[in-house]
Amino acid sequence: MMLKTVEWKNNSVIMIDQTKLPNTLEYVTYTDYNQVADAIRTLVVRGAPAIGISGAFGLALAVLQSNAIEKKELIDYLEKAKNILFETRPTAVNLVWGLEKIMQVANQASTVQEIKTNVVETAKKMAEEDIKINMTMGKIGSELLDDNDTIMTHCNAGALATAGYGTALGVIRATKDNGKNIKVIATETRPVQQGSRLTVFELKHDGIDVSLIPDTAVGYTMANRLVNKIIVGADRILRTGHVYNKIGTYQLAIMAKQHNLPFYVAAPLSTFDMKNNPEDVIIEQRKASEVTGIGDKKTAPDGINVINPAFDMTPPELISGIITENGIAKPPYQESIKKLFEAKK
What are the catalytic residues? 235
Task: Give the angle subtended at the CA of 323 by the CAs of 320 and 167, to the nearest 5°.
Answer: 120
**Residue 269, number of CB atoms within 10 A of its CB:** 18
For residue 182, the cross-strand partners are 149
Q: If you write DSSP's letter for every residue of 21-69 in order, what string do you get?
A: TTT---EEEE-SHHHHHHHHHTTSS-SHHHHHHHHHHHHHHHHHH----
Determine contact, residues 252/152, Cβ cutoff 8 Å: yes
Q: Is 81 within 8 Å of 36 (Cβ atoms)? A: no
Is the separation of the CB atoms in 309 and 243 below 8 Å? no
133 CB neighbour count, 10 Å cutoff: 22
